[in-house]
Structure 1
Amino acid sequence: MNYTHILLDVSSRRERAAVCEYALLLAREHHAQVTAVNPGAPDVNNPSRAAARGVAAMDEFEALAQQYPDVAWRRFSATGSWIDTIAQEGLYSDLILTRQFDPNDSPRYAGYDAPVNIALLSGRPVLVVPRADRFSRVGSRVVLAWNASAESARMVCAALPLLVHARAVDIVIVTETPRRPGTVAPVTGDDIGSYLARHRVEASITTVAAGALEVSEVLLSVVADKGGDLLCMGAYGHARLRKLVVGATSRALMRNMMVPTLVAC
């Protein structure tokens, strides 16, 4: 089971090489094609400068891609809203790959919520690479956040091509409050563990009480403790009065992520 087509966003100005290399490594492992896209409206005050930046971004990707002769790739540019363009093109991809928002980058970017919004609009999983580091491994040890929700179920299906290639998968369940009498039984992880086993993915199950911590803080702590190099989570998001609204846990993880993180809505 592999991804066959990866859409790569190369529009970031800072540390662009890191996300490009990650995409090419992932494509090599999955025998996938990479399509690099540089979306965004031209600079109306200096369109030639904006065009030059777009060409430079594509040239940088192409120079890196030529170092991977076994990876098929193509490039194209597009104008318009960054989120809308990536989401629209992502409809025809198995996976969308972008970089974590950088507040020092261009002001036209939409903020930390953008990857979740793209996942919501495209219906495709979005893999977000942190801006602070480079990662040579592609999902060797995966931490999978599970809460028995529709979002986490869609995330598991979207992440299966990564899970079957992983050396270790850790299912993590974060309990936020003590269970009251008469409420639904707590999530145990046994069912999702059996589901993954049917797909030949062996996974351990860890349940952690959040206590006074936020769920995002617990997940980041578990990733660090287990030496995870990929976090997979179902992200909560929906449209409200024409505005995309993202859940607090998803937003916090997009802001404080330590390792590449796959989100699906």
Structure 2
Amino acid sequence: MTFKTILAVTAPGLGDADLKLAATLCEEAGAHLAVFVVGLAAPPPIGAYAAVVSEAWFQERQLDLERLQARTDTVSGLLASMTVSSDVSSEYQEIAWADEAIGRRARYADLTVLGPEGLSSEELKTNVIEGVLFHSGKSLLLVPQGAAPTLKPRQVMVAWDSRLESSQALAASLPLLVKTEEVHLVLVDPVESEDEHGAEPGADAATYLARHGVKVTVDRLPSQDRPVAAVLRQQAIDTAAELLVMGAYGHSRLRQRIFGGVTSSMIEDPPIPVLMAR
């Protein structure tokens, strides 16, 4: 599989930097750029004062719709000035269900990109991350401030722990890995056992990659009482990685998303562009 459709998500009040970043990746990959403009609706008033404030709430929703239309028009104008193939769609969605709307849209893209602007907007970031990871079955690329993302990286680091999410991230990243100069498969405190890493931790994953023509090196690292995320961050620096590939660990409980410690750390402060899948 190659990346043929890349999705970028934006919202009223945001600028165009993330869209331009996604367009650059589309140019590099020869991909189509799909933009989803999402307006987040505040919940309706409830309780004793609901009747008093409902008129103000309706007026605010009308303003939201106008802002959404204005943002969509601005995005349409921007896309018309670009050379990449593109389309734009928009949706005004209750904030409790916005992640599912984004996830549905992401099912029709090979990759969703969330850049620095999106990462700085807590509501949008939360809904994009949860929507893509829990509702699309596709991968997500997080791009921190100051990073220069590329879909043709020379050095890639893969965080490997032999679990299902890690395997899915590895498979999702294969279109990139087969074209790299070197991939570092990083294991932190690997356990030698039949139901974890096997007799030689990392060997089976390295063989899988090598059969695809990937040039892979296995790095088995001790945590030495450091958080796993800190070990991964340092290894990304030490290997001059341009991309970190990792599985996203978490689950949904009564619509409350719960991520594991390493996943949460990378979401909050990605050291380099991070490709996630689950």
**What TM-score range do you get, normalising by the shorter chain?**
0.7 to 0.9
Which amino acid is the alignment partner of residue 99 of structure 1? Answer: G
**Counterpart selection for 1:222 from 235, 240, 251:** 235
Whether 2:70 is the aligned partner of 1:55: answer no
Larger radius of gyration: 2
Identify which range, 219-228 or 46-55, moves more after superposition. 46-55
1:145 matched to 2:145: no
For 1:87 and 1:33, how far apart are their aligned partners in 2?
A: 18
1:49 match: secondary structure: helix
Gaps of 5+ in 2: 42-59
Q: Is 2:91 aligned against 1:92?
A: no
Distance 1:75 1:242, change over 3 A: closer
Query: Shift of the alpha carbon at 1:9?
Result: 1.4
Question: Paired residue for 1:44, among 38, 61, 69?
Answer: 61
Q: Is contact 2:173–2:245 with CA below 8 Å preserved after alignment?
A: yes
Query: How far does the alpha carbon of each residue in 1:187-235 deviate from its partner, in whole angstroms, 9 at most, with x for none?
Result: 6211111101111111111111111211111111111111111111001
**Change in CA separation of 1:75 and 1:114 when aligned onto 2, cut-off 3 Å:** closer
Which protein is richer in helix relative to its size? 2
Structure 1 pair 104–45 and aligned structure 2 pair: CA distance change class (3 A): farther
1:45 CA displacement:
6.1
- Give, in angstroms, the shift of residue 4 of structure 1: 1.8
What stretches of structure 1 move > 4 A for 4+ residues in a row? 12-15, 100-104, 183-187
Q: Is the 8 A contact 2:172 2:277 kept in 1?
A: yes
Post-superposition Cα deviations, 1:118-170, rounded to whole Å, max 9, x if no partner, equal: 2122111111111x214154333211100011110000011111112223211
Contact 2:37 2:68 in 1 (8 A): no
C-alpha contact (below 8 Å) 1:91/1:123 kept by paired residues = yes
Aligned-residue Cα RMSD (Å) equals 2.9
Structure 1 CA distance for aligned equivalents of residues 226 and 165 of structure 2: 22
Matched residue, 2:124:
109
> Distance between the aligned counterparts of 1:209 and 1:104, measured in 2?
33
Question: Contact (CA 8 Å) 2:147, 2:272: kept in 1 or not?
Answer: no
Q: How far apart in 2 are the matches of 1:59 and 1:8?
A: 16
Aligned residue for 2:138, secondary structure, equals coil
Q: Give 1:108 shift.
A: 3.7
- Larger mean CA deviation between 113-122 and 254-263 belongs to 113-122
* Structure 2 counterpart of 1:190: 203
Contact 1:148 1:187 survives alignment (8 Å) = no
Secondary structure at the aligned position of 2:207 is classed as helix
Note if contact 1:95-1:125 (Cα within 8 Å) is conserved in structure 2: yes
Aligned length: 254
Equivalent residues of 1:117, 1:244 under 8 A apart: no
Counterpart CA distance in 1 for 2:240 and 2:111 is: 24
Aligned to 1:263: 276
Supply the AA of the counterpart residue of 1:188.
P
Once the two structures are superposed, the pairs formed by residues 14-93 of structure 1 within 5 Å of their partners are 16-17=16-17, 19-41=18-40, 44=61, 46-47=63-64, 48-63=66-81, 66=82, 69=83, 71-80=84-93, 81=95, 82-93=98-109
TM-score when scaled to structure 2? 0.80
Deviation at 1:114, TM superposition (A): 4.9
Structure 2 CA distance for aligned equivalents of residues 224 and 78 of structure 1:
40
Distance 1:193 1:103 in 2: 32
Equivalent-residue separation in structure 1 for 2:15 and 2:243 (angstroms): 19
1:120 maps to a residue whose letter is F
Secondary structure of residue in 1 paired with 2:251: strand
List per-residue Cα deviations over 1:22-53 (Å, max 9, x = no partner). 32333233322111111123652623234323
Instruction: Give the structure 1 partner of residue 174 of structure 2.
Output: 160
Instruction: Please tell me the residue identity of whatever aligns with 1:38.
Output: V
Distance 1:210 1:58, change over 3 A: farther
Does residue 207 of the first structure (1) align with residue 225 of the second (2)? no
Q: How many angstroms does 1:236 deviate by?
A: 0.6
Amino acid at match of 1:23: A
